[in-house]
Amino acid sequence: MKSSVARRYAKALIAVGREDGAYANYGKELRTALGIFHGTPELYKVLLNPMHRVEERRALVIKAGESASLSSAVTRLLVILMETRKIRLLPDVAAAYSRLEDELAGRLRAVVEAPFDLSPDALNSVRDKIKAATGRDVAVTFHKNAALIGGLVVRIDNTILDGSLKTQLDLMKEKILEGVA
């Protein structure tokens, strides 16, 4: 349920951003706001604490928005989230906004996992192959996962391409055990 609520807030902000022609900037600002809240957990706690008056918390959000040079639309969203006691949904709203931004830009997000660090050239090669297969721009992020032993795992939305050595060994083990039984 919380993801559907977060998506509604994200959709509302992206609609405003499309009208203003600033949806890409709003995405950056939303991620900046998320960084502020993650970087200052005390601020987050104050905004969640009903012991502080709503006016004080609203002023705090507006002050944080001004100091980070956030647009009025993003600041207004933060105020609404705080007033409706949904400020803890900010990470989900930012993630939903990023997905909507990607849809508008025709971009895919891929997560590449490997048991060792990959060079920028190797990541670019993976990105180029995904782009060639899908015909869409691709943003690639990398995660190191030593448990894979070798090979790669690529996640694109709900699709997982698993070429890891660990998976191959697990499959061989299953086939061997099936043959023994």
How high does pLDDT run on average in the chain?
91
Distances (CA, A) of 33 to 43, 72, 160: 12, 13, 31
pLDDT in tens, 128-155: 999 999 899 999 999 999 888 888 999 9
Q: Which of 2, 97, 75, 88 is nearest to 37 (CA)?
A: 88
User: What pLDDT is attached to residue 50?
Assistant: 85
User: 116 pLDDT exceeds 80?
Assistant: yes
Task: Name the β-bridge partners of 108.
Answer: 138
User: What pLDDT is attached to residue 181?
Assistant: 60
User: 1 pLDDT exceeds 80?
Assistant: no
Distances (CA, A) of 139 to 65, 99, 111, 159: 28, 12, 9, 15
pLDDT in tens, 31-57: 999 999 889 888 888 888 889 999 999
What CATH number does the domain located at 2-102 have? 1.10.520.20
Helices 72-83, 90-105: axis angle to 10 degrees equals 140
Q: Any idea where the domains of the chain sit in the sequence? A: 2-102, 107-180
Burial state string for 79-105 with b = 16 or more CB within 10 A and e = fewer than 16: bebbeeebbebbebbbbbbbebbbeee
Distance between first and last Cα of the chain:
45
Are 27 and 73 contacting, i.e. CB atoms less than 8 angstroms apart?
no
pLDDT in tens, 153-179: 999 988 898 888 888 888 888 989 887
Q: The dihedral of CA 155, 130, 103, 33: what is its sign?
A: positive
pLDDT in tens, 8-35: 999 999 999 999 989 999 999 999 999 9
- Give the distance between the most distant pair of CA atoms in the chain: 71
Q: Kind and range of the H or E element at 149? A: none
Mean pLDDT of 83-104: 92
Are 65 and 78 contacting, i.e. CB atoms less than 8 angstroms apart?
yes
- Give dist(CA 58, CA 78) in Å, integer: 9
User: 105 pLDDT exceeds 70?
Assistant: yes
